[in-house]
Structures are given as C-alpha cells and as structure tokens.
Amino acid sequence: MTIQARRAGAEDDLWEGVDPNVVTEATLTTMLGAQLLSKTADGIDHIQATNPIPGTFLPAILTDRCPTS
C-alpha cells in the first residue's frame, strides 16, 4: 500500500501537500477497523456501513489527473 501511495504522489495523482505515508496509515486504519468491527456479534454489517468512506476519502486526496480505472 505504501508503494502505491508513494507512486501516486510521484505521478502527481495526490493533491499537493498530501503525505503518501498518511494516506497509507489512514487507509489501513480504516480497513482494519472495519474488519475488526465486522467480527463483533452485534448483528450490524460494519463493512456495509463503511462503504461510503472511499467516496469521501479518495476525492479529498486524489487529483483530477488520477486515472479512474
């Protein structure tokens, strides 16, 4: 993940000033947190509940130059 975030930074796919290491930490923390929550027995689908996060998070860090596919 760190390599991909650094590559995105080098290719100007991240907004200026966005630290690739912070992107990696935030992404991994979100993924791990969702997985841990999904293992709880409360019956809530935490993975489904976190689905809106990429739609909010990614536009905040990716430039318009970033390929979508």
Instruction: For residue 18, tell me if it sits in a domain.
Output: yes
Give the per-residue pLDDT at 32: 83
pLDDT in tens, the chain (69 residues): 788 888 888 888 888 898 999 988 988 888 888 777 777 756 667 667 677 777 777 777 777 776 654
Q: State if pTM tops 0.85.
A: no
Instruction: For residue 66, tell me if it sits in a domain.
Output: no
Instruction: For residue 67, tell me if it sits in a domain.
Output: no
Instruction: For residue 33, tell me if it sits in a domain.
Output: yes
Please report, as a single letter, which amino acid is at residue 13: D
Give the per-residue pLDDT at 21: 92
Give the per-residue pLDDT at 67: 63
Spatial separation of the C-alpha atoms in residues 58 and 69, rounded to whole Å: 14
Q: Which domain covers residue 28, as residue numbers?
A: 2-61
Tally of structural domains, the chain: 1
Instruction: For residue 53, tell me if it sits in a domain.
Output: yes
Spatial separation of the C-alpha atoms in residues 55 and 42, rounded to whole Å: 26
Spatial separation of the C-alpha atoms in residues 4 and 36, rounded to whole Å: 24
Give the per-residue pLDDT at 68: 58
Instruction: For residue 68, tell me if it sits in a domain.
Output: no
